[in-house]
Amino acid sequence: MSYYIGLMSGTSMDGVDAVLCQTQETTFTTLDAISIDYPASLLGELNALCCTCENELNRTGQADVQVAVEFARAVNALLDKTGLRACDISAIGSHGQTIRHFPDAGPGFTLQIGDPATLAVLTGIPVVADFRRKDIALGGQGAPLAPGFHQAVFAADEARAIVNIGGIANISILSSAGATPQGYDTGPGNTLMDQWIAAHLQLPFDTNGQWAASAGISQPLLTRLLDDPYFSLPAPKSTGREYFHADWLQHCLTEFDSLCPAQVQATLCQFTATHIADAVKKAECDMREVYVCGGGAFNRHLIKQIQALLPACTVATTQALGVHPQQVEGAAFAWLAHAYFNKQPGNIPAVTGASRPAVLGGLYLPD
């Protein structure tokens, strides 16, 4: 029996999730979790660093250490909550905070900060980190990496989809317990909705999708959003805030000055629901079950929209499968740390496009 802690802060940057998992023979179980918010000053800096800015090299280096300090704070809070000691934990699997993801650039790259050496020193626990760059070195997208974990924990005899709705939405298509999963980023999840409501109502997110539900959608705007070339690209594919950002949205809104802000929010919510539902419909299997995780799982209006677009499917959160929707992504990186120590590949070439399976991550020791 071994304990692992997974750390995740996604493109929404809505907090750091630390998830405690236990592996025992063939089982991998999520036991407990804690979430902390970034300090407001650091959150502002991270958002600024997602785009080109002044003195960004020095600022990135400083933020790298500051993120590690917050990750360590989350780990130590989780240890206090559970009564475990650092020596009880086999390793931390740290995703890091993504600030750039350009896998198709020449050459492609991805950048997650949160200095793993600092994290190891501050917690006294070995850290496995930097999971994505090996896959990119092998010609892959470096994302999504969660489908391997989804297959290991959620696969069953019947086909099902696992949809993570963070800042970006991604899907894992599990056709059966023994089959190779498929998966890719479907498009924006919460990121555009969060940015729009922050700009107009000074709120961090649309609670339960109430603002979106207060207005009707604009079908012409929805068509314009869905016409973006990303949605016609074949998998493997991945994306991020570097592509779907506020300027991208403003460009799409050029011909829609007459829409009120609530109509735009309603259309953005429908946009996310539509590209997710389209991905489910394109699955090459008889899909009847869809399970949602990530922050978007708590947006009731969004979930209702997905269900309306998929009347033949049952749409629920991963809580129905025994894992809280806010804990799935963190648990995935605990699982990847476990895979590293067991010399098991963490990527799936059919998902990322890498030339071969590979053990992912690098090890950082506290001593």
Residue ranges and CATH numbers for the domains of the chain are: 2-141+327-364 (3.30.420.40), 146-321 (3.30.420.40)
Q: Is the pLDDT of residue 178 over 90?
A: no
Q: What is the mean pLDDT of residues 317-339?
A: 97
User: Per-residue confidence at 156, pLDDT binned at 50, 70, 90?
Assistant: very high
Q: What is the pLDDT of residue 14?
A: 77
Question: pLDDT at position 167, please?
Answer: 94
Average pLDDT over residues 327-343: 97
Closest CA to 265 of 304, 310, 222: 222
Q: How confident is the model at residue 22 (pLDDT cuts 50, 70, 90)?
A: very high
Question: Is residue 25 within 8 Å of 89, Cβ to Cβ?
Answer: no
User: Which residue in this structure is represented by tokens 């609670």?
Assistant: 207
- Taking residues 228-234, what's their average pLDDT? 97
Q: Indicate whether 39 pLDDT > 80.
A: yes
Average pLDDT for the chain? 96
Instruction: Summarize pLDDT for 340-357 with one digit per residue, the tens.
Output: 999 999 999 999 999 999
Low-confidence winner among 122-126, 280-284, 338-342 (lowest mean pLDDT): 280-284
The pLDDT value given to residue 338: 97
> Percent of the chain having pLDDT more than 90?
92
